[in-house]
Chains A and B, each alone.
Chain A
Amino acid sequence: MYPADLRYTKEHEWVRVEGEIGTVGITDHAQKELGDIVYVDLPKVGSVSTKGQTFGSVESVKAVSDIYAPISGEIVEINELLATAPEKINEDPHGEAWLVKIKIGAPDEIKQLLSAEDYETYVGAETAH
């Protein structure tokens, strides 16, 4: 279910590390919880994100949900597709509907992220409540 080549947070974001770039998105669990996504607010290219800080939001029909930066670093690209097709997050959250690319500022932070297996366990426990 959750791709093994991604790393995850308890706030339901994922990161794909390729060299010095981390691509960030929200997880399938997050998009399911949100429902129909109708709007995405992303940070500006060139701005700097700090791990754990809000850096954007995703809105479903029903509600607004903050996105927390899973890692620190400079935003080098945002997914322009989402401005016109936010529903892609419901369709392909781990692929086409990535949110931003971050130039990894603190490589140590990567190690603190969850593996696919740990995230799946975490989500399973959370949903069982």
Chain B
Amino acid sequence: MSATPLKATPLNSVHRKMGAKMVDFGGWDMPVQYSGILDEHNAVRTAVGLFDVSHMGEIEFFGADAVALADWLSTNAASKLKIGQAQYSGLLYEHGGFVDDILVHKVADDHIFICVNASNQDKDFEHMRAHNPTQARVEFAGQRYAQLAIQGPKGLATLQRLTATDLSAILYYHFTSGEVAGVKARIARTGYTGEDGFEIYIAPEHAERIWNEVLNAGQEFGIKPCGLGARNTLRLEAKMALYGHEIDATLTPLEANLAWIVKFDKGDFLGRAALLKRKESGVQRKLVGFEMTGRGIARDGYEVLLDGSPAGWVTSGGPSPTLGKNIGLCYLPAGHAVPGKQIQILVRNQPVDAVTVPTPFYKRAK
């Protein structure tokens, strides 16, 4: 047994009381499932699901240079954000590889709020502090927030019962300050499921009560508490990247099909020179989606064969509950990372047929 105790969210005892199956997720004791991954996945696609994502980290920038710092440290154009707008972005090393993928929120001209991955939060904070050429104050804020995700077509109706804020007025990737069940909350129309929904940030001491209030509010829609298992199948169908899988320190946004979050024309930023060089010389490999055509399930780390020879690896793979197919994402030599290529996945030493396909695998009807 590892000597390091697992970290726990403010809802840990609630998950245990409610009978969730708990796992060690990057050092956090988290629910992997409640009623079952398929059941929870389907609840989010057809109704609404509630996730405890309080393990995610938060880092805040304060001061007149807050936006300038976000612009320097991240690949997307933070300077283009309006107050109340959020943006998916990359946090890169100088060599162009990912420190993390992050969600940048502009709270005010002198206040940037960033949501980062749980297992990267300490590293991210150190990186931001070490590469801050401005007067902006960088604060680690993980302990200030519990985060709940209310996701699915009935997410808005569920949350609306608990707040006076007109949720339909919050556009996708926008947020506002308000109250949920009488508690101060940052309410963002964001998510990691490919569905409409909200992520709310509240003080940890209110987490348990708000969790229960949301479950009550969503009861008539068939709300389900959900674990990280469903979160993963949902994000894979929506082709959203997961750090340590599609992206890591050795991969840049250019390989990961995330060129859209890199704004070369915004001025200099950390990692820009390396990215530009790589863009000009051309990337060697690229991320592409695939579907199994033979019998078998591709899993993270499996080898990918092209004409019988090793050519890449699976970054995420598994069954797609919505499509009823076995899907995955993999890295292939750039010229081959296009839809319609016959490939094989090495499943326990057996090559199994697959074909590359367009992504996302799932897109919700607007």
Binary interface profile of A, 47-87, with partner B (CB < 8 Å = 1, else 0)? 00000000001011111100000000000000000000000
Residues of A within 8 A of B348 (CB): 57, 64
Of chain B, the residue at the smallest CB distance from A63 is: B299
Interface size on A, residues (CB 8 A): 12
CB distance from B354 to the nearest CB of A (A): 15
Give the residue name and chain of the B residue nearest to A83 (CB): B295
**CB of B229 within 8 A of chain A?**
yes
CB distance from A31 to the nearest CB of B (A): 11
Q: Does A2 contact B (CB under 8 A)?
A: no
Give bound CA distance, A41 to B229, whole Å.
22
Residues 312-329 of B at the A interface (beta carbon under 8 Å): 318-319, 321, 326
CB of A43 closer than 8 Å to a CB of B: no
Query: Given A57-B348, A61-B318, does the pair A39, B37 have CB atoms closer than 8 Å?
Result: no
The distance in angstroms between the C-alpha atoms of A3 and B291, with both chains bound, is: 40
- Contacting B at CB under 8 A, from A34-52, are 35-36, 38-39, 41
**Cβ-defined contact, B299 with A61, below 8 A:** no
Interface size classification for chain B? 10 to 19
Report chain A residues within 8 Å CB of B158: none
Structural contact, B32 and A62, CB atoms closer than 8 A: yes
As a 0/1 sequence over residues 35 to 59 of chain B, the CB contacts with chain A under 8 angstroms (1 = contact) are: 0111101000000000000000000
B299: chain A residues at CB < 8 Å are 63-64
| Interface, chain B (partner A; CB < 8 A) | 21, 32-33, 36-39, 41, 229, 232-233, 296-297, 299, 318-319, 321, 326, 348
> Can you name 30 A-B pairs with beta carbons within 8 Å?
A35-B33, A35-B37, A36-B36, A36-B37, A36-B38, A36-B39, A38-B297, A38-B319, A39-B296, A39-B297, A39-B319, A39-B326, A57-B348, A59-B297, A60-B37, A61-B37, A61-B229, A61-B233, A61-B318, A61-B319, A61-B321, A62-B32, A62-B33, A62-B37, A62-B229, A62-B232, A62-B318, A64-B297, A64-B299, A64-B348
